[in-house]
Structure 1
Amino acid sequence: MDVLVTGAHGVVGTAITDYLGDDDRYDFTLLDVEEGDGPGETVVADVLEYEELRPHFDDQDAVVHLARIPGLDGPDSRAVGWSDPLAGELEAITNVYEAAIDADLDSVVYASSNHAVGMVEVRNEPEVYHDTGIRIGHEEPHRPDSLYGVTKTYGEDLGRLAAEAHGIQCYGLRIGAVRSPEYDHPYGDAERGVDDGKWERGSDEYEEQVARMKGLWQSRRDLAHLVDCCLQDDSVEWDHFYGVSANDRRWLDDLDRSRTVIGYDPRDNGEEWDGPPE
């Protein structure tokens, strides 16, 4: 299967190629705004430039769209108003779907986010981090917590339009918290805060980050497995799935359904960790 990956050199993209790059079922084309390393062909293009982007969709079977425009997830991300990053993100998503339709791809795997339903966390923090029984399932409506979340709901809805109007299989992955290899564990955000001088290990701030990640974490290998399940699926017209590991205290909870529909069976569980790796 020939698969184009946009934003391929980022944290999520490298998780895919780290775990699927040597898989003989896939021939990856890695697209980003700068050169980078990885298995398969690497191409440079800007998702904001349709004429530059479009040729790379030729002869592909699927696209995994990960590229994002910086500037939407800063301290003012919950403000309501038009901005260049917002316009750019919406344009980039539109370009990818338009190119996929024009090139007659079989499927689109779209990196949505937990922020598409993030107001559930915002309205219930910190209780939601401590396994108090708060759960949202597959039928939860869009509840974005920021402009970044709004762009993710737009991408999901555009995927549904592409599926129902143009016959492309579309999968929206509401990814929880995927981190770089150094921090690929439920203590990752807490440890990164220590490394950045934000708090001390064992502080209240540290422990709250751990509690949050034990619910929201998706390991890099589980993320790659979820993408693999979508690329191999031939039954879904359009759907969305939560990108979390099999965490006991997850509040994004459609795991039983994901196992049944696409075979997603994550191997990791945040609760199995009682401290950062030594």
Structure 2
Amino acid sequence: MVANVSDYEAIRPAFDEQEAIIHLAAYPYVDGTWMDVFEPNVIGMFNALEAAREAEVETFVFGSTNHVVGMYERENSPEIYRHDNDIVLDHTVPVRPDSFYGSTKSFGENLGRYYVENYEYPKRFYALRICSVRSEEYDHPFGDAENGVAEGKFERESSEYEEQVARMKAMWQSRRDFAHQVDCCLQDDDVEFDIFYGVSDNYRCWFDLEHARSRIGYRPQDDGEEWNAPPE
């Protein structure tokens, strides 16, 4: 089934007889205008939660974003990408979105909390503040840098290339770690509402992983620091 998430009647049948919903539909670009993000990210989020409520879906996994707290990175980059940065953000830090996109994802987290605390369904809401999950071709910490070269934005060994590598070594969430984290949410039955950072076990990461480990058993396998070069 393919439908526009901002069209409630079009998406509503897909929720029937489902035990869980993984909601990843969104306008995902940080430079998007308010008009770009409003229908897919605001109306679409309401539609997905309302459909889950009507269909009595128990579990709702929401693809949120690190851009909900993106101003911390913006204010501290590029130093925050180094091994010795002492910044750690957990799920309790004040929300500081860096864009209209991040603002709509913050709205989605809060709307999810409203639903689980005020309606019978959904019973559980998991907000995953996803960091950097990439396509299979670029599923490694050199992915953004290599993509930049492919698009002609800069050359290898340039300062721009090196900064992209440093950032991804902190922000990368491998596809298998992302799939594992979603599965942790689907297997859990204790959480009513909670927020978890979606990132691999990166040595230079500034996002807390202990909360996800203790609450839902997230055990990421990958670490961006283990990569010294892109794959051949």
Identify whether the pair has TM-score above 0.5, normalized to the shorter chain. Answer: yes
User: Is 2:53 aligned against 1:101?
Assistant: yes
- Matched pairs, number: 229
Instruction: Pick from 20, 29, 32 the counterpart of residue 62 of structure 1.
Output: 20
**Is the partner of 2:207 in helix, strand or coil?**
coil
Match of 2:225 in 1: 271
- Equivalent-residue separation in structure 1 for 2:199 and 2:37 (angstroms): 27
Q: Which amino acid aligns with 1:243?
A: G
**Is the partner of 1:236 in helix, strand or coil?**
coil
Distance 1:269 1:84, change over 3 A: closer
User: Is 2:99 aligned against 1:146?
Assistant: yes
- Equivalent-residue separation in structure 1 for 2:218 and 2:13 (angstroms): 32
Q: Deviations over 1:198-255 (max 9, x none)?
A: 11111100000000000000000000000000000000000010000000100111x1
- Equivalent-residue separation in structure 1 for 2:36 and 2:103 (angstroms): 15
Q: Which amino acid aligns with 2:92?
A: E
Q: Deviations over 1:82-102 (max 9, x none)?
A: 525324421001000000011
List alignment gaps of at least 5 residues for structure 1. 1-42
Q: Which amino acid aligns with 2:81?
A: Y
Match of 2:108 in 1: 155
Instruction: Pick from 205, 210, 215 the counterpart of residue 256 of structure 1.
Output: 210
Q: Deviations over 1:26-72 (max 9, x none)?
A: xxxxxxxxxxxxxxxxx1222111011111100000100001136x5
Match of 1:18 in 2: none
- Equivalent-residue separation in structure 2 for 1:262 and 1:88 (angstroms): 28
- Equivalent-residue separation in structure 2 for 1:136 and 1:83 (angstroms): 30
Match of 2:11 in 1: 53
Distance 1:129 1:233, change over 3 A: same
Q: What TM-score do you get using the length of structure 1 for normalisation?
A: 0.80
List alignment gaps of at least 5 residues for structure 2. none
Higher helix share: 2
- Equivalent-residue separation in structure 2 for 1:138 and 1:243 (angstroms): 11
Structure number with greater CO (CA < 8 Å, separation at least 6) is: 2
- Equivalent-residue separation in structure 1 for 2:228 and 2:16 (angstroms): 47
**Is the partner of 1:118 in helix, strand or coil?**
helix
- Structure 1 vs Structure 2 CA RMSD: 1.3
Distance 1:230 1:204, change over 3 A: same
Match of 2:88 in 1: 135
- Equivalent-residue separation in structure 2 for 1:205 and 1:271 (angstroms): 18
User: Is 2:161 aligned against 1:203?
Assistant: no
Match of 1:119 in 2: 71
